[in-house]
């Protein structure tokens, strides 16, 4: 039982000493731990990077939803989670990686400055910083402004059927077909006989993202893609919603429509989101409080197939925000912090 004169100081000191980073790495047992994730999981820098990369690759390999040669659009906002997602895809496609990722990536950034009350100068500065990061990746990227929702066709709301339905196709069959097509293409180019499986794997590992993508750089108009009237219309639309929760849900829906429309127009069949488990936990509680419990599996699971021809995948759903922050800090992953809607409550409600 608890006593009035009971002393808890010694127990607190022992707990803090047990979690000290001066201990050895729990994986290699040799290097000194530089960080602790969760309770008692101490890692050195090399083991933490290996753990972080392996979790991402294992998530994709376990679900087997992304087929070789498939075009995948990465939704990058510049925040920590989406920046870590971009870094993992870059590393998985680098020539030094032993088992490369085999999909064709692209990047989309949705400029939400109109919803957060940012000026044109602020939006232009954020856009230029993100363009520098995107160009360094070598992937094709698309900048879409929130004002573009007023020019979306009504078909974006319809659940379209995929022209190439691969749900009943075996992943192994898709990989074998991809290797055979690469082998036949190599034979046509070199004029040599059949290559062995090992030789084809070696050739695939030497492929670069530039050869896959065919289009690199920004795909947008040089002129201002929106008018002041459209910006004011976005602010009026958000101001008409009274609560912050409803305003965030509206902004998420508009963002989703823009991403889906861009993916359909540009020929992408998958969209990768950077939702971490910390963000998905917030989304889970929000959906329950809003009475949307029936959509929990699609809103928080690895894949969201509700849109038919475009599937949304969340390979970062096993990472906590703490793990992502440590990874970005330790390995210098560039990110751009922008104002969110919940940090601009007053400006949005007054506009």
pLDDT digits (tens, 9 = 90+) for 322-337: 999 999 999 999 999 8
Question: Residue 349 pLDDT > 80, yes or no?
Answer: no
- Band (pLDDT 50/70/90 cuts) for residue 348 is very low
- Band (pLDDT 50/70/90 cuts) for residue 161 is low
* pLDDT of the residue at 153: 82
- Band (pLDDT 50/70/90 cuts) for residue 309 is confident
Most confident of 30-34, 96-100, 236-240: 236-240
Q: Is 271:260 a contact under the CB 8 Å cutoff?
A: yes
Question: Residue 17 pLDDT > 90, yes or no?
Answer: no
Q: What is the mean pLDDT of residues 87-112?
A: 90
* pLDDT of the residue at 146: 92
* pLDDT of the residue at 6: 57
Average per-residue pLDDT in the chain? 79
Question: Residue 61 pLDDT > 60, yes or no?
Answer: yes
* pLDDT of the residue at 212: 33
Structure tokens at 68: 């070789």
Q: With pLDDT > 70 as the criterion, what percentage of the chain qualifies? A: 72
């Amino acid at each position: 039982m608890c006593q009035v004169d009971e002393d808890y100081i010694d127990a607190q000191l022992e707990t803090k000493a047990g979690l000290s980073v001066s201990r050895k790495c729990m994986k290699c047992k040799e290097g000194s731990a530089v960080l602790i994730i969760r309770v008692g999981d101490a890692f050195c820098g090399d083991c933490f990077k290996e753990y972080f990369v392996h979790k991402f690759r294992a998530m994709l390999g376990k679900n087997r939803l992304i087929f070789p040669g498939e075009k995948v659009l990465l939704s990058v906002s510049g925040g920590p989670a989406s920046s870590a997602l971009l870094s993992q895809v870059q590393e998985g496609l680098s020539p030094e990686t032993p088992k490369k990722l085999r999909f064709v990536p692209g990047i989309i950034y949705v400029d939400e400055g109109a919803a957060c009350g940012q000026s044109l100068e602020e939006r232009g500065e954020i856009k230029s910083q993100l363009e520098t990061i995107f160009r360094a990746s070598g992937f094709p990227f698309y900048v879409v402004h929130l004002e573009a929702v007023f020019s979306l066709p009504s078909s974006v709301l319809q659940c379209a059927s995929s022209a190439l339905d691969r749900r009943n196709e075996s992943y192994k069959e898709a990989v074998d077909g991809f290797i055979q097509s690469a082998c036949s293409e190599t034979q046509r180019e070199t004029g040599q006989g059949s290559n062995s499986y090992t030789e084809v794997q070696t050739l695939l590992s030497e492929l670069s993202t530039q050869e896959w993508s065919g289009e690199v750089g920004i795909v947008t108009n040089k002129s201002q893609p929106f008018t002041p009237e459209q910006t004011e219309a976005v602010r009026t639309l958000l101001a008409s919603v009274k609560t912050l929760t409803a305003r965030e849900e509206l902004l998420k829906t508009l963002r989703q429509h823009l991403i889906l429309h861009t993916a359909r127009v540009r020929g992408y069949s998958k969209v990768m989101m950077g939702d971490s488990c910390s963000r998905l936990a917030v989304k889970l509680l929000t959906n329950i409080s809003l009475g949307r419990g029936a959509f929990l599996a699609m809103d928080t699971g690895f894949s969201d197939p509700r849109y038919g021809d475009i599937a949304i995948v969340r390979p970062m759903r096993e990472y906590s925000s703490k793990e992502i922050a440590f990874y970005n800090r330790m390995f210098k992953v560039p990110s751009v912090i922008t104002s969110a809607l919940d940090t601009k409550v007053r400006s949005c409600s007054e506009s």
